[in-house]
């Protein structure tokens, strides 16, 4: 909801779907959805009842919704046995119009496509049931990035790519033509020389094995730099890799620039993306970071906090 409101405030006029739907019995969140011309996702009859009530109070002729059905994810959505109740609630409240029918695929990136194909088959049955009862959803959608790239027939009327929008494939063997579009960068704000045997950072987990040059950068786990990268991740400086030295702190991180000749205050430091500099060209991808941190690329990307400024540009 908050992201949809932010997009409207930025002047975005196209339809915006609130994927998580509308929670709870209160009307304030729902009122904000309708006030900003956002399309809610519904998955229980009570949501439809509340939307209809608010539509009457606000004298709205029509509120378009997308019905989410659970075909195998087991997370959010009306189960197949609950679909008739949802369709009945829609029939009782004609001002709540079924504009879209959707589901989410649980195993689209798996080698074995059988679970995904079964979900698509079940989704087709539910669509037929809806149409047999007089509903006419304008769009059907199910495909995430993996399904869009590797499951024929999953595209339906529209697709919902997530990680692929950032130029990252959901599997290493998919879409090698994708180019990552996100760079996370900062700069060196302090440099200090330390002697062999000196230890640095919280817990003194890093010890210099030689006389070393340590750079401090103003980025930490509060910005989204995963703490599991302590003593194992890297950054790019002047086109070359520099290892993270010590624990990633809340707002600051130290990197070992001993092998980065010419490193100086103000030098760009890249944690995600490509950098070309006087010492070469290299790239650090979100999949590599995820492997170091024992997580997934999606978490690396969504961890970047709101306090990190975003800059958008044409390719």
Residue the block writes with tokens 């579009």: 181
- Give the CATH number of the domain where residue 27 resides: 3.20.20.10
Domain count, the chain: 2
Residues 128 and 204 in one domain: no
**Residue 33 covered by a domain:** yes
Do residues 223 and 156 share a domain?
no
Report yes or no on 309 lying in a domain: no
Whether residue 189 sits in one domain with residue 99: no
**Burial tier of 187 (Cβ tally within 10 Å: 0-12, 13-18, 19+):** middle
Residue ranges in the chain whose pLDDT is less than 50: none
Residue 50 maps to a domain: yes
Phi first, then psi: what are they for 40, rounded to 5°? -85, 150
Handedness of CA 184, 190, 193, 194 (dihedral sign): negative
Q: What does the pLDDT read at residue 65?
A: 98
Shared domain for 84 and 225, answered yes or no, is no
User: Which one-letter DSSP state was computed for residue 203?
Assistant: G
Q: Indicate the residue among 166, 195, 212 that finishes a domain.
A: 166
Is the residue at 239 inside a domain? yes
Assess whether 47 and 193 both reside in one domain.
Answer: no
Determine, yes or no, domain membership for 171: no
pTM value? 0.88
Pairing status of strand 268-277 against strand 280-284: antiparallel
Q: Is residue 175 part of a domain?
A: no
For residue 197 the two structure tokens come to 């045997």
Both 210 and 136 in a single domain? no
Task: Answer with the one of 137, 166, 195 that is the final residue of a domain.
Answer: 166
Residue 313 lies inside a defined structural domain of this protein:
no
pLDDT at position 28: 75
Nearest to 167 by CA among 187, 145, 185, 147: 145
pLDDT of residue 83: 97
Say yes or no: 221 and 147 in one domain: no
Reported in sequence order, the residue ranges of 33-91 that DSSP labels E, i.e. its strands, are: 39-42, 63-68
CA dist 220 and 129 (Å) reads: 51
- Per-residue pLDDT at 174: 87
84 in the same domain as 58: yes
Domain check: are 153 and 70 in the same one?
A: yes
Residue 188: which domain range?
184-302
- Whether residue 294 is contained in a domain is answered as yes
Regarding whether 147 and 269 lie in a shared domain, the answer is no
Task: Check residue 7 and give its pLDDT.
Answer: 96
CATH number of the domain to which 258 belongs: 2.40.37.10
* In a shared domain, residues 123 and 73: yes
70 Cβ contact list (under 8 Å, min separation 6): 43, 76, 77, 78, 79, 80, 103
Q: Is 301 exposed, middle or buried (0-12, 13-18, 19+ CB in 10 A)?
A: buried
Residues 244 and 272 in one domain: yes
pLDDT of residue 262: 97
pLDDT at site 29: 86
Q: Which two tokens stand for residue 81?
A: 């046995």
pLDDT at residue number 172: 86
* Residue 115 pLDDT: 97
């Amino acid at each position: 909801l908050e992201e949809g409101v932010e997009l409207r405030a930025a002047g975005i006029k196209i339809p915006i779907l609130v994927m998580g739907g509308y929670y709870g019995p209160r009307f304030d969140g729902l009122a904000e959805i309708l006030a900003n011309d956002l399309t809610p996702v519904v998955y229980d009859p009570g949501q439809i009842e509340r939307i209809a009530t608010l539509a009457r109070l606000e004298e709205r002729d029509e509120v378009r919704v997308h019905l989410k059905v659970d075909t195998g994810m087991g997370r959010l959505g009306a189960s197949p046995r609950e679909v008739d109740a949802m369709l009945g609630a829609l029939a009782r409240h004609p001002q709540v119009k079924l504009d879209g029918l959707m589901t989410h695929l649980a195993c689209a990136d798996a080698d074995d496509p059988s679970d995904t194909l079964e979900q698509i088959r079940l989704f087709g049955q539910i669509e037929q049931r809806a149409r047999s009862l007089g509903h006419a959803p304008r769009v059907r959608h199910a495909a995430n990035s993996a399904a869009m790239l590797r499951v024929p027939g999953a595209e339906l009327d529209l697709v919902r790519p997530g990680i692929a929008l950032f130029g990252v494939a959901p599997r290493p063997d998919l879409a090698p033509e994708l180019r990552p579009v996100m760079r996370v960068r900062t700069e060196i704000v302090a440099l200090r020389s330390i002697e062999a045997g000196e230890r640095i950072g919280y817990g003194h987990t890093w010890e210099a094995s030689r006389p070393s040059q340590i750079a401090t950068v103003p980025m930490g786990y509060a910005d989204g730099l995963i703490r599991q990268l302590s003593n194992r991740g890297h950054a790019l400086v002047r086109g070359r890799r520099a290892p993270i030295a010590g624990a990633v702190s809340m707002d600051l991180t130290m990197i070992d620039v001993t092998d980065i000749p010419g490193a100086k205050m103000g030098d760009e430091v890249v944690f995600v993306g490509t950098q070309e500099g006087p010492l070469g060209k290299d790239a650090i991808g979100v999949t590599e970071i995820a492997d170091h941190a024992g997580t997934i690329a999606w978490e690396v990307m969504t961890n970047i906090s709101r306090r990190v400024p975003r800059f958008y540009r044409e390719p």
